[in-house]
Amino acid sequence: MYNILICDDEPDIVSALKIYLASDGYGIYEAYNGREAIEMMQKTEIHLVLMDIMMPEMDGVETLYHIRQKQGNYFKNIPVIALTANAISGAREMFLSEGFADFVAKPIELSVLERVLRRYIPEDKIIKVEEYETAKK
């Protein structure tokens, strides 16, 4: 199973993303701040992270910095996608320069999220809705 970690301090956003992504058959994990995200990544095989930028305790940029400082290719290479309401001109370049794989603006448009996820989820791990529905039966 392909596991996605959603890290956002807004429970409504986490819940909505969880429902959407779980309906596609992915394993969904949640964290509500950077510390929880790092802890989850240390104990669970996560394949991709959706990370809010503005969070209390440790923001998304600081959390990504701590992730990348950990030993091993897993922490160095895992795709971390920024989620932000601050989608100003040049935001994508700014987030890429910070080490994020990509970013999705809030409010999240599902078609944009889907397009971004398809860039990072390996083709053999992309679950088509029809396949998921058949597998559930």
Stated as kind and residue range, the H or E segment containing 37 is: helix 34-43
Average pLDDT along the chain: 90
Helix (H) or strand (E) holding 64: helix 60-69
Instruction: Give the tokens for residue 15.
Output: 């819940």
The 10s digit of each residue's pLDDT in 72-81 is 999 999 999 9
* In the block, residue with structure tokens 């970690």: 5
In this prediction, residue 23 has a pLDDT band, given cuts at 50, 70 and 90, of confident
